[in-house]
Every structure is written in structure tokens, then in C-alpha cells.
């Protein structure tokens, strides 16, 4: 039995037989996504996706819509390899601390190599090493105190997620001195 809508006038009335069945036959018993995949497959076979602009290039996924009025400014900073002042300051703190730790590691390695030699170091080498340790400890302490000032500045200007704990200067300098004890001066005897 065919469905006829009796609410419409006789001129507008169409039965199911009058409605084109070509789309409904294809979609019947299939998921919507399968139909879409089939359409994409046919378009690829026809070559509709060949030579599209940007083909083979990475997608530009930079979405700065969250920035609102500042989007243009952030885009200019990013495209010119700049970052906000807080991020630059945090990066500077990290780099300076890594540089200071690398200097200390070099002196500690030098002390270990002097102590592990078969031939004991000469008095001049011992004096030079002791002077280098004192100079490094003084510079390390100054660097750490300067980093604490920068950390304070960062904590005052940056959001709370970017805050960093203060550096325990005295403890770190003491650890360095313990890791790198000076040679005893034999010239006094």
C-alpha cells in the first residue's frame, strides 16, 4: 500500500512511487560514514583532489583565536622568533643555571682527574686548582644570587604557573665545595 498524504491538495499529492528512489536505494542498510567514504573514493578516482593548493605541505595549525585582540601581536612575535617577556626571562634563568652547572662540572672533573693520576700533581698544579676552585665558588655564588633576583622578578610579573622556587645558594655552594675539596698546601711544611 502506498502512502499518500491527504493533507495536501490533489495537485501536490505524490505517492512513494513518484519520489525518486535513486538515493534511498544507495543509502538503505549502510552507515552515513560509509557513504561519505564512497564519495571521497570516487572523487579521488576521478582526480578531483589532484594538484590542490598546498598539497604535500604541512598544515598550518596555528590558531590564535583565543588571544582575541592580541592575536596579531602574538602572531608577529611568533613569526619573528620572540616570546613574551616572562617566557624569555624563564628561558634566560634556565640557560644561565645550566651554564653555571657546566662550569662546575668541568672543575669537578679536573679535580677528579688530578687526584686519580698515578703521578701526584705538582705543587703549582695544586695551587692553580685551589685558586680555580675558589674563583669558581665565588662566581657560582654571585650567579646564583643574580638568578634569585631574576626568579623574584619572574614571580612578580608572570602568572602563578610560571613561578619558580628560589635557589638555595648557600647549600649549593657548600655542595660544590664538598664535591671539589682543595689540595693541601705542602709548601707550609
**Domains of the chain: which residue ranges?**
85-188
- Model pTM score: 0.58
Question: In this predicted model, which residue has the larger pLDDT, 84 or 91?
Answer: 91
What helix, strand, coil percent values describe the chain, rounded to 5? 65, 0, 35
Can you read off the three cell numbers belonging to residue 178? 664538598
Per-residue confidence band for 92, with pLDDT thresholds at 50, 70 and 90: very high
- Alpha carbon 38 to its chain centroid, in Å, reads 40
Give the mean model confidence (pLDDT) for residues 37-43. Answer: 90
User: Which pLDDT score, from 0 to 100, does residue 113 have?
Assistant: 92
Amino acid at each position: 500500500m502506498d502512502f499518500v498524504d491527504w493533507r495536501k491538495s490533489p495537485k501536490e499529492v505524490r505517492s512513494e512511487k513518484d519520489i525518486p528512489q535513486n538515493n534511498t536505494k544507495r543509502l538503505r542498510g549502510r552507515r552515513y560514514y560509509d557513504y561519505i567514504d564512497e564519495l571521497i573514493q570516487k572523487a579521488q578516482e576521478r582526480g578531483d583532489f589532484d594538484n590542490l593548493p598546498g598539497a604535500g605541505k604541512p598544515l598550518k595549525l596555528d590558531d590564535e583565536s583565543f588571544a582575541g585582540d592580541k592575536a596579531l601581536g602574538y602572531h608577529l612575535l611568533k613569526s619573528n622568533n620572540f616570546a613574551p617577556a616572562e617566557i624569555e626571562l624563564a628561558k634566560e634563568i634556565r640557560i644561565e643555571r645550566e651554564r653555571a652547572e657546566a662550569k662546575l662540572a668541568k672543575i669537578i672533573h679536573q679535580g677528579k682527574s688530578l687526584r686519580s693520576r698515578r703521578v701526584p700533581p705538582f705543587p703549582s698544579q695544586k695551587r692553580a686548582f685551589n685558586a680555580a676552585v675558589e674563583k669558581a665558588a665565588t662566581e657560582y655564588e654571585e650567579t646564583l644570587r643574580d638568578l634569585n633576583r631574576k626568579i623574584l622578578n619572574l614571580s612578580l610579573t608572570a602568572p602563578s604557573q610560571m613561578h619558580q622556587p628560589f635557589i638555595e645558594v648557600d647549600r649549593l655552594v657548600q655542595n660544590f665545595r664538598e664535591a671539589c675539596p682543595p689540595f693541601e698546601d705542602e709548601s707550609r711544611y
